[in-house]
């Protein structure tokens, strides 16, 4: 199959699939498929609720059409699958969306077709879990009638300075020839260049360790922050000083949520367990990062107690609910850990986030956002997410939301040093 013969489909139009479909749609004919008709209708109307793609960018992707009809994929011969791969409540990989998408693609698969996966998985998942589903529902044989590739997503939600075209793309294929074809296809839209991995399993492993490494490094800084806090030392000042060495990796302490860093390590942990290996360091890092919300809440309550505020019914304002700044994505937000622990300790908690529609309820945690904070009534304010709106408010604007002697806990170093009462 030559590049000019490819009829491309992108399956899954979320934070990963949509920017990719738009990039390709500016250069070639693309069918963007999503099982949600509401999502398809939104995009057909020129709007992207995730905020990742502008109306102008959607308009420029003249070759892109959206559909929720599976039959519309029958004309395609190359399928890029970009669906979520979360974990369940036991922190085990949840492949339900991935396998469902594989079943859908398998039902329209033809001889000579190519299926490329972008979803983050553990090494071996594409060929051991997805390919059998494709074979079962197509009646075709892998690497004889159809082929597969894997090119892990590297999307950074909310980061408009780094579009997918500017991020080097890892590519791979189930045969050397297919790997070349997959790599050439992505080079159409990835101006930063590509890296062709030796195999699909290598590409899968590369992706899952990218975020595992970052998770562990943040866990180290979080542990350092706990130690510095107990010693009365400003963690940010320590990091600034340490960063003067050329090879120091500058990271900030904080909450580790979202659908990548807080999830991907569990995929590698799961695979390691199936091999009889207990990955002690990865598990320790996860324990540290998942503990941070509890630490913040208990640290705040102790500080309030030191000011004589120990009665039930203390009012706390939490600024930010999304898992990261300047992004509406609430998936796996660890801000919920702070809210739930403060409530468990008797506090009344309001959550305000300008990136989340007022009244929105986070279904996983039963947290409803307020349309606006009530000025002057809070005993404490927690800056949990570094949205640009909070930075623009500054110390004076944020303190106006609390009582005269309210404590301000700045988790994200939004305020200059010395302008918050508590920091990690």
Q: Are strands 8-11 and 30-33 parallel, antiparallel or unpaired?
A: parallel
- State both tokens at 178: 């297919």
Query: Could you confirm whether 306 is annotated as catalytic?
Result: no
Query: Catalytic one among 78, 148, 260, 327?
Result: 260
SS (H, E, C) the chain: CCHHHCCEEEECCCCCHHHHHHHHHCCCCEEEECCCHHHHHHHHCCCCCCCCCCHHHHHHCCCEEEECCHHHHCCCCEEEECCCCCECCCCCECCHHHHHHHHHHHHHCCCCCEEEECCCCCCCHHHHHHHHHHHHHHCCCECCCEEEEECCCCCCCCCCCCCHHHCCEEECECCHHHHHHHHHHHHCCCCCCEEECCCHHHHHHHHHHHHHHHHHHHHHHHHHHHHHHHHCCCHHHHHHHHCCCCCCCCCCCCCCCCCCCCCHHHHHHHHHHHCCCCCHHHHHHHHHHHHHHHHHHHHHHHHHHHCCCCCCCCEEEEECCCCCCCCCCCCCCCHHHHHHHHHHCCCEEEEECCCCCCCCEECCCCEEECCCCCCCCEEEEEECCCCHHHHHHHHHHHHCCEEEEEEEEECCCCCCCCCCCEEC
Give me the torsion for CA of 134, 137, 142, 146, rounded to 10°.
Answer: -90
Would you please indicate which residues are annotated as catalytic (active-site) residues? 260
């Amino acid at each position: 199959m030559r590049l000019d013969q490819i009829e491309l489909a992108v399956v899954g139009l979320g934070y990963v699939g949509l920017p990719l479909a738009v990039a390709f749609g500016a250069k070639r004919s693309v069918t963007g498929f999503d099982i949600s008709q509401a999502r398809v209708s939104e995009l057909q109307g020129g709007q992207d609720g995730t905020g990742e793609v502008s109306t102008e960018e959607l308009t420029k992707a003249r070759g892109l059409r959206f559909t929720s009809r599976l039959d519309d994929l029958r004309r395609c011969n190359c399928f890029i699958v970009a669906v979520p791969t979360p974990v369940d409540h036991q922190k085990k990989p949840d492949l339900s969306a991935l396998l469902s998408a594989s079943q859908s693609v398998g039902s329209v698969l033809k001889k000579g077709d190519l299926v490329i996966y972008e979803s983050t998985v553990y090494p071996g998942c594409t060929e051991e879990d997805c390919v059998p589903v494709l074979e079962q529902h197509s009646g075709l044989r892998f690497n004889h009638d159809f082929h597969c590739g894997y090119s892990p997503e590297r999307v950074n939600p909310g980061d408009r300075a780094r579009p997918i075209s500017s991020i080097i793309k890892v590519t791979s294929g189930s045969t050397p020839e297919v790997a070349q074809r997959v790599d050439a296809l992505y080079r159409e839209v990835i101006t930063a260049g590509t890296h062709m991995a030796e195999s699909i399993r290598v590409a899968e492993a590369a992706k899952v360790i990218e975020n595992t490494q970052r998770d562990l490094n943040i866990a180290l800084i979080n542990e350092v922050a706990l130690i510095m806090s107990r010693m009365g030392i400003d963690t940010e000042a320590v990091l600034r000083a340490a960063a003067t060495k050329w090879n120091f990796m500058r990271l900030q302490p904080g909450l580790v949520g979202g659908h990548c860093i807080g999830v991907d390590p569990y995929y590698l942990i799961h695979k390691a367990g199936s091999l009889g290996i207990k990955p002690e360091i990865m598990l320790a890092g996860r324990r540290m990062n998942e503990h941070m919300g509890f630490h913040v809440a208990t640290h705040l309550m102790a500080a309030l107690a030191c000011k004589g505020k120990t009665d039930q019914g203390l009012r706390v304002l939490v600024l930010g609910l999304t898992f990261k700044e300047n992004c509406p994505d609430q998936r796996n937000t660890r801000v919920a850990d702070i809210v739930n622990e403060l409530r468990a300790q008797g506090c009344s908690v309001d959550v305000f986030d300008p990136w989340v529609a007022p009244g929105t309820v986070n279904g996983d945690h039963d947290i409803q956002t307020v349309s606006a904070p009530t000025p002057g009534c809070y005993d404490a304010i927690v800056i949990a997410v570094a949205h640009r709106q909070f930075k623009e408010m500054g110390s004076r604007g944020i303190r106006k939301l609390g009582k005269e002697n309210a404590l301000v806990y700045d988790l994200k170093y939004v305020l200059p040093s010395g302008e918050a009462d508590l920091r990690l």
